Amino acid sequence: MESYDYIIIGAGSAGCVLANRLTEDPTVRVLLLEAGGPDTQQDIYMPLAFGKLFQTPCDWNFHTEPEPHMSDRKLYWPRGKVLGGSSSINAMIYIRGNHKDYNQWRDLGNPGWGFSNVLPYFKKAENQERGASEYHGVGGPLNVSDPRSPNPLTETFIEAAEQAGFSRNHDFNGESQEGFGLYQVTQKGGKRCSAAVAYLRPAMARPNLTVRTSIHASRILFDGRRAQGVRFVDGNQTLQAHADREVILSAGAIGSPQLLMLSGVGPVDQLRQFGVPVICDLPGVGENLQDHPAVPVAYECTQPVSLASAESLINLLRYLLLKRGPLTSNVGEGGGFIKTSLAGATPDVQFHFGPAFFINHGLTPIKEHGFTSGPTLVRPRSVGRIQLRSGNPLEAPRIFANYYSDPHDLDVMVEGIKITRMITHSKAFAKYRGRETHPGDSAQSDQELRAHVCKMSETLYHPVGTCKMGASKDRSAVVDSELRVHGVEGLRVIDASIMPTVPGGNTNAPTIMIAEKAADLIKKGPQTVKTEEAILSGAIR
């Protein structure tokens, strides 16, 4: 059996960061296992092409169970199954969330996770093309840039929002989150800068890192309650590898709870239902699933300026020769954050504006010129869960997103549609605004708008929370503030699943931050958090 210091399961955003940071010590041997293949497809790197990666071998192609509050629809959930994970197939929007998100994590019993604690890790990860500042870093692996060739419709949307009474925001990751503006993107020179590009590729030259693709982890191996290795499927073979120090689970909000349960760590009733020997009864595994739903509000465009004609020969040449033009677009080029009348202390709706028809993840082909604004619920009260479908590790688990189980969420989305319409009917859009196709002018009452939300909402690709971070006294917590799994030894979960609450914004940057911080926790040991606890309690000034 091969032996390593650390085995990382999953080469998504978090796994790539960890593989890089842990192998900075040449004496540390790391094995990184990825179920998908290498990130060689050209569509990964051309920003506008990310939708072409959906429902391909780069995608897990998950679906929810029938959603009871959405006419029993089974919603499609794309997730990256390739080196870089979802950072290789996402829309590249660089958003950290609200400062108060992380103070809430800290106040929920997670010392060391307040905004002042995590900001250094956001900055450490970042190479901000605008330069260093109080909130931004340079020299980090992850390149963050302004969009190279924003569409005129996106600029119009921002101008229209100002005319509707909202402020312009030039930096959603700075002092304040509210307002409207262009989104920064994880691109470099007009190409995607995924976690694999930023972190993994440089580390793969190190002799102490072994990366294996097309490997499906089937079980974490325990000696008593100590994780000691991983069993995995490689083609027709079932193999094992030993971890001298730790097994690190970075398979994401769907894969991480599934593998924990298949390994005997989770709700005891579920484990026994599928004949899984119980290592540790941990009822929070798979619970606390949170996500951001979005709903399209779409219009025909009266001028041929949208992305509908982006894939012309001249635009392809512009991209290949200059890395400029509409093929550098991430579709969701701009947007904003607002507080509706139902909001608390932080914005509860985010807008994603695209100069194109973006319906059903872009899978519904509409060739006409148009534009779409997607009001997105970023403070959901509805909570779902992940459950095993069977004891077969190759079978996808059951996803219960449970969208709109709390009526408050539906009320916020209805207000989001109304605000979208108000913005779109501002003077700036007069020369572009055609017929409203979704939900359509006939939908005016709150009841009709609720029906549109339930019929057309889709995931905004931000599932989190299913291996929640919290103190051991919290029966729903799965990991502690050092991301060690409660009740066992030698096992951590490091990915978006540890988030106690979903941040108010896109989740890729927070996931990378989590892995940066976790790498330091692993390297420095438990004294790091003890020191932070002392600082937070006032014992150290």
Q: Which has the closest alpha carbon to 492: 528, 467, 462?
A: 467
Q: How far apart are CA 136 and CA 126, in angstroms?
A: 7
Contact 370, 380 (CB under 8 A): no
Tell me the CA distances in angstroms from 259 to 77, 274, 277, 281, 518, one per residue in order. 19, 13, 13, 14, 20
Compute how many other C-beta atoms are within 10 angstroms of the C-beta atom of residue 466: 32
Name the active-site residue from 216, 452, 462, 486: 462
According to DSSP, the residues that pair with 247 across neighbouring strands are 7, 491
Fold match between domain 1-114+201-289+385-398+462-541 and domain 148-182+293-379+404-456: no
Contact 290, 306 (CB under 8 A): no
Please give the radius of gyration of the chain, using alpha carbons only, rounded to the nearest integer. Answer: 22
Contact 34, 216 (CB under 8 A): no
End-to-end CA distance of the chain: 49
- Both tokens assigned to 439: 């939900």
Q: Which residues contact 407 (CB under 8 A, 6 or more apart)?
A: none
DSSP letters spanning 104-125: HHHHTT-TT-SHHHHHHHHHHH
- Both tokens assigned to 408: 């408050």
pLDDT of residue 147: 97
Q: Is 462 marked active-site?
A: yes
Tell me the CA distances in angstroms from 42 to 38, 283, 311, 484, one per residue in order. 12, 42, 15, 37
Peptide bond into 257 cis (omega under 30): no
Domain edges within the chain: 1-114+201-289+385-398+462-541, 148-182+293-379+404-456
**Three-state secondary structure string covering 39-76:** CCCHHHHCHHHHHHHCCCCCECCEECCCECCCCCECCE
| Whole-structure pTM value | 0.96
CATH superfamily of 1-114+201-289+385-398+462-541: FAD/NAD(P)-binding domain (3.50.50.60)
Residue type (1 letter), 441: D
Dihedral angle, C-alpha 434, 438, 439, 442, nearest 10 °: 40
What are the DSSP E strand ranges found in 107-214? 126-128, 142-144, 179-182, 187-188, 191-192, 209-212
- Both tokens assigned to 306: 């949208």
Q: Does domain 148-182+293-379+404-456 correspond to CATH entry 3.30.70.20?
A: no
pLDDT in tens, the chain (541 residues): 799 999 999 999 999 999 999 999 999 999 999 999 999 999 999 999 999 999 999 999 999 999 999 999 999 999 999 999 999 999 999 999 999 999 999 999 999 999 999 999 999 999 999 999 999 999 999 999 999 999 999 999 999 999 999 999 999 999 999 999 999 999 999 999 999 999 999 999 999 999 999 999 999 999 999 999 999 999 999 999 999 999 999 999 999 999 999 999 999 999 999 999 999 999 999 999 999 999 999 999 999 999 999 999 999 999 999 999 999 999 999 999 999 999 999 999 999 999 999 999 999 889 899 999 999 999 999 999 999 999 999 999 999 999 999 999 999 999 999 999 999 999 999 999 999 999 999 999 999 999 999 999 999 999 999 999 999 999 999 999 999 999 999 999 999 999 999 999 999 999 999 999 999 999 985 444 455 544 444 433 3
Q: How far apart are CA 80 and CA 71, in angstroms?
A: 27
pLDDT of residue 527: 47
